[in-house]
């Protein structure tokens, strides 16, 4: 069976892009944060967003179900309903006080691409699935990629006891959401059920904006490690304690935060962030006796990332020795680098070229994505869309309707190219 050429009109693509923009705005209203966007795993807002996404999935002909880890899934058959599926997706959860597009855009583009391809899908040698992953950010429980890890069959039983800010465990949250923790394994997919995974996402950085280009092929996703570091000194009177008697934990934490920047700047494609820093007991008139800080380290190469963490532990020893402090670190997240598969990169490149953009850039992604987890069971490929000013994880995050329209054309063409490759 031959796979017909795509006939996408500029008007049709513009309508689709406008629908996506309107839906991003609609989803942004499903939020636990007054005046902002915040939607976390296993919350009432997660359930509402899934219901809406399921309606939109059914509207384009997908058969839907919510899986055992709260991911919303839709499927449509190709020429053989038993054939493995090409999975398309991204996530519906957000960081605190988020933008409207991170993850959400990729889910809505996947649904819209099914609409654009609908008349061709019966000729495809694979089925199509759209997955709206339930937890990519890790906002609620501190551990990222819970939804996609469940799909990848790599759920770690230790995660049941992770707690949110109110002390609610993942296990309790599952039950409150109406999910059965003992069935989480049912969300897992086998490698032979999938022909690959494709995701569209805003870049979350300035490279495309700087280059004046709308789209890029992703080459790999950064490896990551996250730590919670505790530094202990001695809490004492802020007025009466002279400097030679102080063991100020916050000053030790501040020095290490500066060291993170210095050590990462000296490396290529490595970036580190201290995003949380709290001092205890947290009084204006008490020298901080304890400081807790987070560290997020991401690197294209795991070796560079690990070398910098080792250097930071030596700095911590040295700072602690000099200031009379003690320190300990708990690793809360580790992810290997994930390289995009050459054929999926090629079809994405061909899709972008088909959208009218010659010689697209290949970008490494310092931001994390569901593909990091799904890459354990399927080849992955990603498409980046220009993110003006590179601002993301912020309410000002933006992508233009025009770029969504060209992104849709590229995404749809990439899938047709892949169908042709598989049909050979
Ligand atoms: C997710 O967006 C991450 O990269 O932290
Ligand atoms: Mn994000
Ligand atoms: Mn994301």
Q: Which residues have C-beta atoms less than 6 Å from ligand 1?
A: 137, 367-368
Query: Residue range 350-364: average pLDDT?
Result: 96
Q: Which helix (H) or strand (E) is 51 found in, with range? A: helix 44-59
Cα atoms found within 13 Å of the Cα of residue 244, Cβ hemisphere only: 0
Going by C-alpha positions, the residue among 121, 131, 112 that lies closest to residue 77 is: 121
Mind listing the pLDDT tens digit for each residue in 148-166?
999 999 999 999 999 999 9
pLDDT recorded at residue 4 = 66
* Residue from 276, 295, 332, 367 to probe ligand 1 pocket by mutation (most atoms less than 8 Å from CB): 367
Which residue do the tokens 């009432």 mark? 44
Mind listing the pLDDT tens digit for each residue in 108-152?
999 999 999 999 999 999 999 999 999 999 999 989 999 999 999
As given in the structure block, the two tokens for residue 5 are 């050429």
- Per-residue pLDDT band for 20 (boundaries 50, 70, 90) equals very high
Q: Chain-wide mean pLDDT for the chain?
A: 97
pLDDT recorded at residue 7 = 84
- Per-residue pLDDT band for 424 (boundaries 50, 70, 90) equals confident
Q: Which atom of ligand 1 is nearest to the CA of 366?
A: 4
Q: Name residues with Cβ closer than 5 Å to ligand 3, which is an ion.
A: 102-103
**Which ligand sits closest to the CA of 371?**
3
pLDDT for residue 200 is more than 90: yes
Query: Residue range 288-306: average pLDDT?
Result: 96
Residues facing 339 on adjacent strands: 220
CA of 92 to the centre of ligand 3 (A): 9
Q: Whose CA is nearest to atom 5 of ligand 1?
A: 368
Which residue do the tokens 């920047």 mark? 261
Query: Residue range 291-307: average pLDDT?
Result: 96
pLDDT for residue 178 is more than 70: yes
pLDDT recorded at residue 164 = 97
CA of 368 to the centre of ligand 3 (A): 7
CA of 4 to the centre of ligand 2 (A): 36
Q: Whose CA is nearest to atom 3 of ligand 1?
A: 368
pLDDT recorded at residue 1 = 61
Going by C-alpha positions, the residue among 340, 332, 3, 5 that lies closest to residue 161 is: 332
Query: Residue range 388-404: average pLDDT?
Result: 98
d(CA 389, CA 397): 9
pLDDT recorded at residue 185 = 98
The pTM for the full model equals 0.92
As given in the structure block, the two tokens for residue 112 are 């819209």
Q: What percent of the chain has pLDDT over 90?
A: 97
Mind listing the pLDDT tens digit for each residue in 223-281?
999 999 999 999 999 999 999 999 999 999 999 999 999 999 999 999 999 999 999 99
pLDDT for residue 9 is more than 70: yes
Label residues 212-226 b or e (16+ Cβ within 10 Å = b): ebbbbbbbbbbbbbb
Residue 189 CA, distance from chain mean position: 19
As given in the structure block, the two tokens for residue 14 are 């513009």
Query: Residue range 338-360: average pLDDT?
Result: 97
d(CA 259, CA 133): 35
- Per-residue pLDDT band for 5 (boundaries 50, 70, 90) equals low
- Contact of 299 with 269, CB cutoff 8 Å: yes
CA of 164 to the centre of ligand 1 (A): 18
């Amino acid at each position: 069976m031959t796979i017909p050429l795509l006939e996408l009109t500029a008007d049709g693509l513009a309508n689709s892009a406008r629908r996506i923009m309107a839906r991003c705005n609609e989803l942004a209203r499903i939020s636990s944060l007054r005046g902002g966007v915040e939607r976390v795993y296993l919350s009432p807002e997660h359930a509402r967003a899934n219901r809406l996404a399921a309606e939109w999935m059914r509207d384009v002909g997908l058969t839907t179900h919510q899986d055992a880890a709260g991911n919303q899934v839709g499927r449509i058959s190709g020429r053989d309903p038993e054939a493995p599926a090409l999975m398309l997706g991204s996530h519906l959860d957000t960081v605190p006080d988020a933008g409207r597009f991170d993850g959400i855009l990729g889910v809505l583009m996947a649904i819209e691409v099914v609409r654009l391809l609908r008349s061709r899908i019966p000729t495809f040698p694979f089925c199509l699935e759209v997955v709206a992953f339930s937890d990519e950010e890790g906002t609620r429980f501190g551990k990222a990629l819970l939804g996609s890890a469940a799909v990848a069959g790599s759920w770690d039983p230790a995660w049941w006891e992770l707690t949110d800010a109110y002390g609610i465990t993942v296990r309790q949250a599952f039950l409150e959401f109406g999910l059965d923790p003992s069935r989480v394994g049912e969300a897992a997919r086998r490698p032979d059920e999938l022909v690959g995974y494709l995701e569209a996402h805003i870049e979350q950085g300035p490279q495309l904006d700087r280059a004046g280009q709308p789209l890029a092929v992703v080459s790999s996703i950064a490896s990551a490690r996250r730590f919670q570091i505790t530094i202990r000194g001695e809490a004492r009177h802020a007025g009466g304690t002279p400097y030679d008697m102080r063991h100020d934990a916050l000053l030790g934490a501040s020095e290490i935060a500066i060291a993170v920047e210095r050590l990462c700047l000296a490396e290529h494609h490595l970036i580190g962030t201290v995003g949380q820093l709290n001092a205890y007991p947290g009084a204006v008139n008490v020298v901080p006796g304890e400081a807790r800080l987070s560290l997020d380290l991401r690197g294209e190469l795991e070796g560079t990332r690990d070398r910098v963490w080792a250097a930071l532990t030596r700095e911590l020893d040295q700072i602690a020795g000099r200031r009379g402090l003690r320190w300990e670190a708990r690793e809360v997240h580790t992810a290997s680098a994930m390289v995009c598969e050459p054929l999926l990169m090629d079809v994405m490149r061909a899709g972008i070229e088909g959208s009218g953009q010659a010689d697209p850039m290949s970008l490494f992604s310092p931001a994390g994505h569901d593909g990091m987890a799904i890459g354990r069971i399927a080849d992955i490929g990603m498409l980046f869309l220009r993110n003006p000013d590179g601002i993301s994880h912020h309410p000002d995050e933006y992508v233009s309707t025009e770029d969504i329209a060209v992104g849709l054309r590229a995404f749809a063409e990439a899938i047709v190219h892949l169908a042709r490759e598989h049909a050979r």
